[in-house]
Amino acid sequence: PYAGPVESKNEAAMSELVPEPRQKPVVPMKPMGINANLLGYIGIDTIIEQMRKKTMKTGFDFNIMVVGQSGLGKSTLVNTLFKSQVSRKSSGWNREEKIPKTVEIKAIGHVIEEGGVKMKLTVIDTPGFGDQINNENCWEPIEKYINEQYEKFLKEEVNIARKKRIPDTRVHCCLYFISPTGHSLRPLDLEFMKHLSKVVNIIPVIAKADTMTLEEKTEFKQRVRKELEVNGIEFYPQKEFDEDLEDKTENDKIRQESMPFAVVGSDKEYQVNGKRVLGRKTPWGIIEVENLTHCEFALLRDFVIRTHLQDLKEVTHNIHYETYRAKRLNDNGGLPPMTVETEENHESNL
């Protein structure tokens, strides 16, 4: 008579132990092919306009560094690039200044506006680089400056109460000026680019290209490219950062044909065939800066400003800064070492 209830109790216990069969996860359906012609206008394309408006309101930063011996026309070239007086020479520097005994770093900021778009441009000059008899390790102050800017950005980023928009002082582009000897790169050129190509986007430039004939210029460019390749020096745009086939095709052409850009800079205007042109006057005629048959300045300008400016900023942030950031956080167990100032800020934030 008691068997029935005991069995029913056991069955109840068993039913509790045995899990209910799980339902199969719902597999998301494959997206159906949408015809190119939608039933009505949605407005997805307006995101580009929204981004443009936001950028125009906030503006953006671009920091360019110029490195090379004195007398290679660095200041003039930067003025020519931005068609305004943006170099240190036009900001109170005079020719009678003595060459500094060590490499100095001078940064000058300007706000340039064109077509409603504001750009905060910072030109970082390096007077004294390569001008001494002993130039051993003269790239170290430059490397230190570049890393200091990464450190500054990192400290702002790890703050508890960080700014909505962190001021960007990181060097996005370094124009390295090669002397137009027509022979080969100096050991100093190779050493600088070896050390710095790992931390910044280097664009090699042959300065004062009007001092060479067309044949000499072509031969020198080929020789420089070969030497950079033999020494394993990666200049911008680096091969490993090409995102797709289109980028690779475009950048391969630049790497194999244009680099290093042989340029002439001038901020003086002359009349040529009824047109006002930027150029340099010589006894045998006027060298037009923006004429591709005379020099490659127009190619350099289009490359730096019109086609690759955003990419220079992205490679700086996603590659060079990320490499620095990962190393610093790894070395210090997750956070940069706290100074007294950051410790006080940290306590006040808490």
Residue at 285 is within a domain: no
Query: CA 47, CA 33: separation in Å to the nearest integer?
Result: 23
Q: Taking the alpha carbons of 166, 171, 173, 175 in that order, is the dihedral positive or negative?
A: positive
Residue at 221 is within a domain: yes
Which of 17-26, 80-89, 170-179 is least confident?
A: 17-26
Question: Does the structure show a pLDDT above 60 at 34?
Answer: no
Query: CA 116, CA 121: separation in Å to the nearest integer?
Result: 15
AA identity, residue 71: G
Residue at 325 is within a domain: yes
Residue at 116 is within a domain: yes
What pLDDT shows up at residue 45?
86
Residue 63 sits at φ, ψ, to 5 deg, of -120, 120
Helix (H, G, I), strand (E, B) or coil at 307: helix
pLDDT band of residue 36 (cuts 50, 70, 90) is low
- Domain of residue 203, residue span: 56-264+294-330
Question: Does the structure show a pLDDT above 70 at 286?
Answer: yes
Total domains, the chain: 1
Q: Are strands 275-282 and 173-178 parallel, antiparallel or unpaired?
A: unpaired
What pLDDT shows up at residue 171?
95
Q: Are strands 60-67 and 173-178 parallel, antiparallel or unpaired?
A: parallel
Give, as one character, the DSSP assignment of residue 210.
G
Residue at 257 is within a domain: yes
Residue at 250 is within a domain: yes
Helices (H), the chain: 3-17, 46-58, 74-82, 140-158, 187-196, 214-230, 245-253, 297-301, 309-315, 322-331, 340-349
CB 336 within 8 A of CB 151: yes
In 243-271, which positions are buried (b, 16+ CB within 10 angstroms) versus exposed (e)?
Answer: eeeeeeeebeebbeeebbbbbbbbbeeee
Domain of residue 93, CATH code = 3.40.50.300
Residue at 121 is within a domain: yes
Question: Does the structure show a pLDDT above 70 at 24?
Answer: no
CB 261 within 8 A of CB 301: no
Residue at 209 is within a domain: yes
Query: CA 205, CA 296: separation in Å to the nearest integer?
Result: 10
Mean per-residue pLDDT over the chain, rounded: 81
Which of 20-24, 26-30, 121-125, 345-349 is least confident?
A: 345-349
